[in-house]
Structure 1
């Protein structure tokens, strides 16, 4: 292990608990707190918010290969702060972590990067938009054309993307509540990206097309004490509607989400409007993971089974979790992604 990676592992403020993985920790003194009624502003909010403790730029894609097979792809940049604000050079309290992955029907490739802020190895600029860690980059206009690159020991990818719909604000105009106690984040998405590019895999290059979804979220507030993890779905349906839905697991599960019409019109889904039930589990040396789900949103006639392309899509990174592409069948047909944390 490189010395700087060891140092970052020791300094990183995320513990192994679900709250730690969320990056929301237990201490918020001095950090900014999300407030209802704050209007998000673009392009500035595509950039970093160093006064908040945790933030991420998160892209997932469901892809069709020229070989007729289906693939999934993830690119994530996390920012976490040791203290509010920023300083130049090695004095910067901002720490960065990148994850990249490719999932096939029979393999899951992933890799991780860690960096300290302020020294040019990682960061985000709002205009023009550029998010990077080492040579990995997400760049362009989230409402227009974008480019994505990453590479690991067993894979690489390069994608061109174009937005075919608007940015979507979740919750109350971007203020997304996470518990009955009122913890919240700022949260928006770009769920309408069309994708074309190349995956470089052990068997060689593969041309792919498909759709991608970017999530942007930042906060400083801890989750509730009894919340042990979450199950987060992003689905693209056959009628071109989109669904974002999550369940935070606790003594009383908390659910929330957004129904996104084909034209981008967003309808918030309040706690209790979404029902998610695990149907089938996969055994893993780390945990029993629910890889098939029953998802219901009665207000929109959604009653579907959501099943993993590959049950082994475990991200065995410094802070492990499960993330992989999913199939949707039932009242609607489609594809999407599922992220699960806190299973152990």
Structure 2
């Protein structure tokens, strides 16, 4: 059977349409027998946990960066590698049950470019390894040292490309309770940590020509087998960097039984404090259908315990990722009690 046909059949089985009713992209469906589930209190171990966890059903390496050109023009980029498993464990060659998917994007106030790659594990087309660290799908690469302190990031689509160097200026942040991140009142959870403090330099290639860029990068790492409750249809995810040096990761998971919000406050020195569920208030203020589906593109976020009351606005309301599982992802600008820049991801708005 041709490799492309095998890949297509595997993707169809793994991402079957009925799963959409069980949370965004099926992430609320019950983990099948044999898959591992996160255990509260299990410590994260590095560099091992920078690598893949084939005993879990889903996993991702997710990097965004807010950038600026020499004239101050703002840009944003995204690089993501997703791993999904047809069955727990790993095997060689075409017997591997691991399916890989890559997303890359480059966004400005006037344009949004994105690309998607699909791949199989076991045949060298895509994967992640440590010693030294490397994540790849086809010719897209995130590679560097095993501590994720220094990385080189490359990707290209039909009308864009980037080649960036990232150097961490702060510690890793363990989200939730030492890396155990609860996602619902029912207790669904994931293992989740971040490196939110990259200094970024490099080149962004657009149809108008190459642009030298500098800025800040944020890497999220997460894995689970059922991170959402069955009634949760999607999420609104914020990674925000303030001019004071502090940072905020926050999320709102939307469900028929009510929204679930949580997150982490990260001080300028990298000290992380988990938020109690409900402490973060996230209110959509304005929506746009510039990208097709109507999505909130201006928000008010409040965190009274940190005297935070801000408004967040999309740099480009049309930053829609028209990929296999479509979602909105783009850079945002922050005004109010705290100023800065960040990234917003919103899923589940295309149903």
Pairwise CA distance, 1:28:
2.9
| Residue 18 of structure 1: how far off its partner (Å) | 6.4
Q: Provide TM-score, normalisation by structure 1.
A: 0.97
Query: What are the Cα deviations for residues 153-182 of structure 1, in whole angstroms up to 9, with x where unaligned?
Result: 000000011000000001100000000000
5+ long unaligned stretches in structure 2: none
State whether residues 180 and 190 of structure 2, in contact with CA within 8 Å, keep that contact through their aligned partners in structure 1.
yes
> Which residue does the alignment assign to 1:304?
310
Instruction: Establish whether residue 315 from structure 1 lines up as the match of residue 321 from structure 2.
Output: yes
Is 1:169 aligned to 2:174, yes or no? yes
Residues 230 and 161 from structure 1, CA distance in 2 versus in 1: closer, same or farther, beyond 3 angstroms?
same
Aligned length: 344
CA 1:5–1:104 in 2, change beyond 3 Å: closer, same or farther? farther
1:8 deviates by 4.2
Equivalent in 153, 156, 171 of residue 151 of structure 1:
156
Among 222, 230, 242, the residue aligned to 1:225: 230
Say which SS state the counterpart of residue 94 (structure 2) adopts. helix
- Structure 2 match to 1:90: 94
Distance change in 2, residues 1:24/1:241 (3 Å): same
CA contact (8 A) 1:76 1:99 kept: yes
Q: Give me the whole-angstrom Cα distance separating, in 1, the residues matched to 2:260 and 2:249.
A: 14
Shift of 1:237: 0.3
User: RMSD between aligned alpha carbons?
Assistant: 1.6
- Correspondence 1:16-165 to 2 at 5 A: 16-17=20-21, 19-21=23-25, 23=27, 25-141=29-145, 142-165=147-170
Look up the match of 1:13.
Answer: 15
Q: For 1:18 and 1:336, locate their aligned partners in 2 and report how far apart those are by CA, in whole Å.
A: 29
Following the alignment from structure 1 to structure 2, what is the Cα–Cα distance between the partners of residues 144 and 263?
16
Q: By how many angstroms is 1:143 displaced?
A: 4.1
Deviations 1:202-232 (A, max 9, x none): 0010000000000000001252122111000
* 2:237 maps to 1:235: no
SS of alignment partner, residue 232 of structure 2: coil
Distance 1:94 1:103, change over 3 A: same
Counterparts in 2 of 1:97 and 1:52: CA distance versus 1, 3 Å: same
**Structure 2 residue aligned with 1:329:** 335
**How far is 1:284 from its partner?**
4.3
**Residues 99 and 113 of structure 1 are in contact (CA less than 8 Å); yes or no, is this contact kept in structure 2?**
yes
Equivalent residue for 2:205? 200
Cα–Cα, structure 1 residues 312 and 188, in superposed 2: closer, same or farther, change >3 Å?
Answer: same
1:25 match: secondary structure: coil
Matched, 1:186 2:188: no
Q: Is the 8 A contact 1:78 1:97 kept in 2?
A: yes
Query: SS in structure 1 opposite 2:204?
Result: strand
Query: Contact (CA 8 Å) 1:24, 1:54: kept in 2 or not?
Result: no
